[in-house]
Structure 1
Amino acid sequence: MREKLTSILEYQFFNAEIGERTYSFSVLEVVIILFIIGITRAAIWLIQRALDNRVQRKRIDPGKAYAITQILKYLLWTISIIYCLDYLGVKITVLLAGSTALFVGLGLGLQDAFKDFVSGFIILMERTVTVGDIVEVDGIIGKVLEVGLRTTLVQTRDDIYMIIPNQKLTNEHVINWSQSKKVTRFSIGVGVAYGSDTRLVEKLLLDAVNEHKMISKTPAPTVQFIDFGNSSLDFKIFFYSANLFRIEAVKSDVRYIIDQKFRENNITIPFPQRDLWVRDYPRTGSPLEPESKENNE
């Protein structure tokens, strides 16, 4: 039985000469390679599980855990692939030296891809953008779902998925709404008619935002009397919210509440008005009337 098992493991199902070298693969070598792959997958799973537990215990934030997982995943797979090739007798140094011309050609044709890979590594290391962040790119606001080595997957507020090259996130102007704080300040502007009680307007605006459950009580909302407009007294209410991704829905709810409170307290939101003055021209000598025949003669 032992001899039979040994013969099966030593059976070579691939034997070929490539250049001056002969390459052969036995069943045992394939089993070892599969074992290495399995160990690599198990190690990655254990690392991810350990980081998830730390996230649940709030010992590490999710963005940092994701970055560590991605970096270790790429590192472990690279080491495993190199070890497998070396175990099969493929000399990496010889392979790289013989493929220099190929790599030069690929480098010229894949410059943008290489830049994306470098940018992805920088993003994962510096964590300028991480999973769960709300970012604004080219005026489009979205939530980061996945950060890869080459691209980043972002979900917009319209539930459209954008695949953004990583070099765009490192080389261009990008706003990260959730990088430094858990809550961000937003504002809503409104104008009221001249003659309105400005202190009452301030109170109603504060009551409106404090009624919404998605608006943070700390820091407290504030109201500013912005300006004396052409047709209205202009106010702006500032508030903080952690619901960065769906903040437009929060603003809409607050506007409904403001409108209802203004109606209940007889506060008018004016619309632009213009006065039109019409002058009467004297009938005699009016430029709109032709001269009389007597004057023409």
Structure 2
Amino acid sequence: EMKEILEYKLFEIGEYSLSVYSIVLAGLVYLLTRGIVALFGKLFGRMASRRNIDEGRQHSFRLLFEYLIWTISIITILTLLGIKLTLVLASSAALLVGLGLGLQQGFSDMLSGIILLFEGTIEKGDIIEVDGVVGRIEEIHLRTTKFRNRDDQVMIIPNHKFVNDNVINWSHDDFVARFGVPIGVSYNSDLQQVKQILLNCAHSNPHVVTDMTGKIPSVRLDNFGDSSVDFTLLFYSSNMFRIETTKSDLRFAIWEAFRQHGVEIPFPQRDLHLKTGQWSLSPS
């Protein structure tokens, strides 16, 4: 009786027929796939923790595995349901050509997504700058990437932007990066005193790295400008996502320190020289 139920054909069109048995097998493959994906996620998470694999790379490997397993699963399910992919593709060749032209950008984004996941140049949690906008990568999908900028706005960016355009990854090779705060002082200032004040301000900021070899704050004299002697306070920080806040805190500290020590921040000025002499008006 059970055999008859399983072999019962729900409908039949020409040479194609769909039985209860085919649907049951397809359902089992679907459930098995979900189980494999969930089990892999747990096992891979434990292994990654033991081997200190960073979260971004974990996410990339997990996503690639899921895409691969689900692709195999879908092909298997379609085969169990009696759907011949070769016939479907052959009969809809013209439609696929049209879709291919229309979805060319979409395919480019998907290919770019695969490249990103394999290369690992951009990973979940990275601080990047694209088109002048700085933000944190929250999720990388096959076609798009979820990106949150400093204004806490979520941007959905097509993956081809990260492959074809120039992108700065502030956190790819190291967890700290170098930044600068430019400042100009009066020509009457003691330059060594100015240098020491700037260094003191940097060392007193909790977001400035001060204890790493080769990555301590420094002061660079950039130029003798028209109205000021121009310096840049160079420093390293791990607070890359909120670095503008750190720069603002440094500017406040510099302003207060300059005020206390009588260091002047000049504004642009020009000297006007008037020549005295005889003016004569000729009759017209």
SS across alignment from 2:18: strand
The separation in 2 between residues aligned to 1:246 and 1:25, in whole angstroms, is 60
Give the aligned residue type for 2:217: P
Q: Partners of 2:101 and 2:227 in 1: how far apart?
A: 61
> What whole-Å deviation, never above 9, does each CA across 1:48-99 have from its counterpart, x for those lacking one?
2333334545620112111101111110101111111111222222222322
The residue that corresponds to 1:250 in the other structure is 246
Who is 2:199 aligned against? Answer: 206
Would you identify which runs of 4 or more consecutive aligned residues in structure 1 move more than 4 Å?
54-58
The aligned counterpart of 1:21 is 15
Preserved CA contact (<8 Å) 2:25 2:80: no
Q: What's the TM-score once normalised by structure 2's chain length?
A: 0.90
Q: CA deviation at 1:121?
A: 0.8
Q: Secondary structure at the match of 1:252?
A: helix
Q: What are the residue-to-residue correspondences of 1:127-146 with 2, within 5 Å?
A: 127-146=120-139
The structure with the larger Rg is: 1
Which amino acid letter does the alignment assign opposite residue 72 of structure 1? F
Q: Partners in 1 of 2:198 and 2:85 — Cα distance?
A: 69
Structure 1 residue 280, shift from structure 2 partner: 4.2
Taking the aligned partners of 2:24 and 2:67, their CA distance within structure 1 comes to: 23
Match of 1:268 in 2: 264
Q: Does 1:178 align with 2:171?
A: yes
| CA deviation vs aligned residue, 1:24-47 (integer Å, no higher than 9, x gap) | 231x44343233222222222222
Q: Which is further off, 235-244 or 31-40? A: 31-40
CA contact (8 A) 2:16 2:82 kept: no
Match of 2:75 in 1: 82
SS of the aligned residue for 1:40 comes to: helix
Matches within 5 A, 1:1-297: 3=1, 6=2, 10=6, 12=8, 14-17=10-13, 20-26=14-20, 28-57=21-50, 59-217=52-210, 218=212, 219-280=215-276, 282=278, 285-286=280-281, 291=283
Instruction: Tell me if structure 1 keeps the 8 A contact 2:23–2:81.
Output: no
Give aligned-pair identity as a percent.
40
The amino acid of 1:264's aligned partner reads Q
CA gap 1:213/1:8 in 2 versus in 1, 3 angstroms: farther
Q: Secondary structure at the match of 2:72?
A: helix
The 8 Å contact of residues 60 and 118 in structure 2, kept in 1 or not, is answered as yes
Contact 2:181 2:233 in 1 (8 A): yes
Instruction: Between the two structures, name the one with larger relative contact order (CA 8 Å, sep ≥ 6).
Output: 2
Number of aligned residues:
281
- Quick one: which amino acid aligns to residue 260 of structure 1? E
Q: 1:13 Cα shift?
A: 7.4
Go from structure 1 to structure 2 and tell me whether the alpha carbon gap of 1:8 and 1:198 turns closer, same or farther (over 3 Å shift). farther
RMSD of equivalent CA atoms: 2.2
Q: Report the alpha carbon displacement of residue 158 of structure 1 after superposing the two structures with TM.
A: 1.4
Measure how far apart 1:107 and its partner are. 1.1
Q: Contact 2:130–2:167 at 8 Å: present in 1 too?
A: yes
SS state at 2:39 partner: helix
Task: Please state whether the residue corresponding to 1:208 is helix, strand or coil.
Answer: helix
For normalisation by structure 1, the TM-score amounts to 0.87
| Structure 1 spans left out of the alignment, 5+ residues | none
